[in-house]
Amino acid sequence: MKNLIILGICGLTILSCTQNQPSQKEETQELYDYDVEERVESMGITLTEPPAPVANYVNSVRTGNLVFMAGKGPSKPEGGYVAGKLGADLTIEEGYEAGRLVAIAQLSALKAEIGDLNKVVRIVKVLGMVNSAPDFGDQPEVVNGFSDTMVEVFGDRGKHARAAVGMGALPRNIAIEVEMIVEVQD
């Protein structure tokens, strides 16, 4: 909302136009008609502090309003990873659930980077890499576990461009790894 202030001082008129700046919480509320973090909780998702990287990289890099998230794997709540090849060791349904676990890991790392998930303007791009047996071709169905979770959390702002590709192997034999690019508010 703009306010116009007119002051008359010794025959000199000074015009000042100011704009009331909404608080950070008010700004983020404009993006959603619900609280994203309450939605995450209502979905039964518990976000945790992401573990420190075990190699020479960081969990995320922010440049301007874009956050580039490092690849994450499917961490089990009780510890360890969902491991194995889709089409040999794991079913599509197990892969889908592994994709959902990766989404939770990415949401945790994103919250650690930006502080409040209500600041997410858009999930822009997702690269889903599926540990696949040579004849397995259902990578999109596996990566849907990740994508569906992003849409459940962020609504239409969770819809993203995506690649779902098969890999001959992934680190520590994890079933799926996903990296993403996210647009956020300042």
Residue keyed to tokens 């950070």: 24
pLDDT digits (tens, 9 = 90+) for 52-90: 898 999 999 999 999 999 999 999 999 999 999 999 999
Please, what is the Cα angle at 51 between 49 and 52, to 5 degrees?
A: 125
* Cβ neighbours of residue 105 closer than 8 Å, sequence gap 6 or more: 50, 72, 73, 74, 75
pLDDT higher than threshold 90 for residue 147: yes
The mean per-residue pLDDT over the stretch 124-140 comes to 98
Number of domains, the chain: 1
Mean pLDDT for the chain overall: 89
CA distance 159 to 173: 28
pLDDT digits (tens, 9 = 90+) for 38-57: 999 999 999 999 988 989 99
Helix, strand or coil, per DSSP, at residue 39: helix
Query: What domain range is 25 assigned to?
Result: 3-184
- Specify the pTM: 0.84
The CATH number linked to 173 is: 3.30.1330.40
